[in-house]
Structure 1
């Protein structure tokens, strides 16, 4: 795929210049200098896996003077302005592209108005049939505004939209659940890049067809929509783990719609929690906190103890990202109490499948404490997570926890211990297709590069190994 930054010059040369008053007015409303505007665009681009290091104040000046950037850069600019102003601004609103010149990217769809089965089919087909869709789908803060207060109306509209189709009963529901179990186990062992499109194919063929069928009972209808919600969540999680953040967000929204149709508030909370996880990883602490709190509020009285613990520990991540020490500590303690009251046999399937236990809670607590700067406590929690994990069944998260531990140890000045754990992480990454794992390796190399010529020999060897891993990972992605 040709990089957006390399295309910029050609767009500048071809486009007739006419001062863009719309863009100028919005940049002024943002109270931005041209440099600040360029920095905001770079941040959105980087978040979506497309760094634009050359984008600077001169580019903004050219755009305002009438030069039209590439379509992806136009969308990054629109998203950056939307975030600054707190309202949705699209590239067409900026006068940067014509109404029909953008590829259909589903950004403009109102996911809360249509039939969820139809919307799921639309999304899945775009993912399967357009190779670039997953890379170009933009992560949007505006899409995090989930209309929880009007979900009953949304569900009623969805039920009214269906009617015909084949009869669907227990056998079809069991088939979807069996496939979900197979895909989920493979995901934990081999990463989000493994069989991602196979999950989407199954969603858009068998599952979408079932959702549009005639159900033997209301109980069966809810059960099928619940199973579909879990599978859509898995598609989102795999996209998230593959660093396809805009695509992941769209699958998460579909999972929410389907959980709502199933009248399963706890399952909806599970997906809201995943959206919070994604937001905090991308640096949107306040939004992550709001989503995590929504997962608790929406599922109150419906969620099991382990599910409540999972939702609560994500509030700790949100509080930590916003610098609230007291509430972070209180949320970690509350999550531990909830989990202590859990009975594994009584937990929903999605808790059992995700493997949320003391091990996972410790990993999330360690990351929250790291974000607060309490590195000693963070190391203790991360060590606890590693010591109690089933490493073969949950290889991906094991590699990420090892990398997080090494990062904390490096920050504490213990480079040799950090290097040992980074090497262990690289050992465990063999055969794992995960964008998050690759990002952890890139972060490792950034840490090591900060030592400059003072980097010890053992760490130089680790850096060379990490570089080789990233080369191999890129070749695997291309293949």
Structure 2
């Protein structure tokens, strides 16, 4: 029978219909779910967990399991369905958690931000096993995610005798950090970003996390205010990049936590445009996880927070992400308007004499076309595989593919847009063209370390096999994919 951690309290009322619904849809047997729970518990270090089929039956009958079982079940079902399945969705009670434990509702103060980034990055480096850094780490969604992020807009207390007391980010020894050393840290971050775009998130993730941890060490030394701001900006960029790489290799809870910590660091740096960029990354993750309403709230928060300081290129990127969110919520009119706004803002990019930050350099003409094409493609799916929206997506996607093909620095984007173009041809019932593009994408996918690319390619080929399995090229591609693309990418 189950150990102490697998047990719980029986409500004595009625079966858990919510959990039963998710369980039936998963296709798992009770034994398989029990084995997965035990395996996940061991990965988390919860070795006292030992559950079996009879215990799973009790959960379905209404027994409330103790922590960390509810969190494990939430993770397993979220991964199974590719979207956030919360503890509450499973009909399980969630224990009250303090802000420091809940994952995203963290104190907005410099010393706490430094301490949290330091602790989380150190744990990631030490454990580095599928992103499980203890029982407290889980995906947040809905108001539990959006409401804490809204505090990004609240000014940091300064000299307010009635406000909270905030200690300076300092220690007992003075800083020996020189200007050239600061510039080297910043250029190293740009180099990591370039490697990520070219090779995928799986190649240098640990190196980025290690660099982030080093920056937090510097922030614990006494620093002049200007130096501290630059270090916080560097920490924000590294944390966002660590989150992006985690997202790319499938470590979704890790990714979200890094994004949240990055937003806190950006606030300490006083960098609103960078904060808006981090929120756009969080928005993209929510779209990926099937939470477009959350994505829309996050992108609106990003737009509002940077409305008076974002460059035209950054504004264009935010409008393009807004279009993606509107597409996935099934609002074609608002989606089309956001697409036009993105195009208009991008036409002003480069006219400003002020240099733009490195983190927005990725948003080129190719990326603009790619985002807008994916918005129309997503609309086509939401509208029941509409050929009209697929036709709107096709020329934009083709332009993106042509531009990325010539860009050696953004091979992951090239692969993703080849796959996107393949999905457009499937929507237009053109399996031969789709198969040819998927084969091209497979060649690129084998060169980059991106589980996101691999997963999208597998899903596209699975869709082709389901809808056009009698086409010879589709069957050949299915066999080729099985032989050449590993089932999972190991995050490093």
TM bin (shorter chain): 0.7 to 0.9
RMSD, aligned CA: 3.6
CA 230–188 in structure 1, closer or farther in 2 if over 3 Å, else same: same
Conservation of the 8 A alpha-carbon contact between 2:170 and 2:219: no
Tell me the equivalent position of 2:419: 403
Conservation of the 8 A alpha-carbon contact between 1:138 and 1:246: yes
Tell me the equivalent position of 1:143: 145
TM-score (ref. length: structure 2): 0.79
Conservation of the 8 A alpha-carbon contact between 2:9 and 2:65: no
Tell me the equivalent position of 2:384: none
- Distance (Å, rounded) in 1 between the aligned partners of 2:27 and 2:154: 35
State the Cα distance separating 1:248 from its structure 2 match: 0.3
Tell me the equivalent position of 1:211: 219
CA 60–316 in structure 1, closer or farther in 2 if over 3 Å, else same: farther
State the Cα distance separating 1:82 from its structure 2 match: 5.6
CA 13–147 in structure 1, closer or farther in 2 if over 3 Å, else same: closer
Tell me the equivalent position of 2:270: 263
Tell me the equivalent position of 1:329: 336
State the Cα distance separating 1:246 from its structure 2 match: 0.7
Conservation of the 8 A alpha-carbon contact between 2:152 and 2:264: no
Farther off after superposition, 131-140 or 232-241 = 131-140
TM-score (ref. length: structure 1): 0.81
- Give 1:3-402 correspondences, 5 Å limit: 11=2, 18-20=9-11, 33=18, 35-36=20-21, 38=23, 59=56, 62-66=59-63, 68=65, 71=68, 73-77=70-74, 80=85, 90=94, 92=95, 107=102, 110-113=105-108, 115-132=112-129, 134-135=131-132, 137-141=137-141, 142-145=144-147, 146-148=149-151, 151-153=154-156, 160-164=167-171, 165-167=173-175, 168-204=177-213, 206-216=214-224, 218-343=225-350, 346-353=354-361, 355-373=362-380, 374-389=389-404, 390-402=406-418
State the Cα distance separating 1:412 from its structure 2 match: 1.1
CA 316–72 in structure 1, closer or farther in 2 if over 3 Å, else same: farther
Which consecutive residues of structure 2, in runs of 5 or more, have no partner in the other structure? 29-35, 40-51, 76-83, 381-388
Deviations 1:341-360 (A, max 9, x none): 0117635323444x101211
| Structure 1 or 2: more helix by fraction | 1
Q: Work out which of the residue numbers 455, 458, 472 in structure 2 matches 1:439.
A: 455
State the Cα distance separating 1:274 from its structure 2 match: 0.5
SS of aligned partner of 1:450: helix
Tell me the equivalent position of 1:4: none
Tell me the equivalent position of 2:471: 456
SS of aligned partner of 1:323: coil
- Distance (Å, rounded) in 2 between the aligned partners of 1:352 and 1:290: 21
- Distance (Å, rounded) in 2 between the aligned partners of 1:40 and 1:121: 40
- Distance (Å, rounded) in 2 between the aligned partners of 1:244 and 1:478: 8
Q: Work out which of the residue numbers 421, 436, 440 in structure 2 matches 1:424.
A: 440
- Distance (Å, rounded) in 2 between the aligned partners of 1:425 and 1:330: 31
CA 399–106 in structure 1, closer or farther in 2 if over 3 Å, else same: farther
CA 227–39 in structure 1, closer or farther in 2 if over 3 Å, else same: farther
- Distance (Å, rounded) in 2 between the aligned partners of 1:260 and 1:197: 25
State the Cα distance separating 1:113 from its structure 2 match: 4.9
State the Cα distance separating 1:278 from its structure 2 match: 0.6
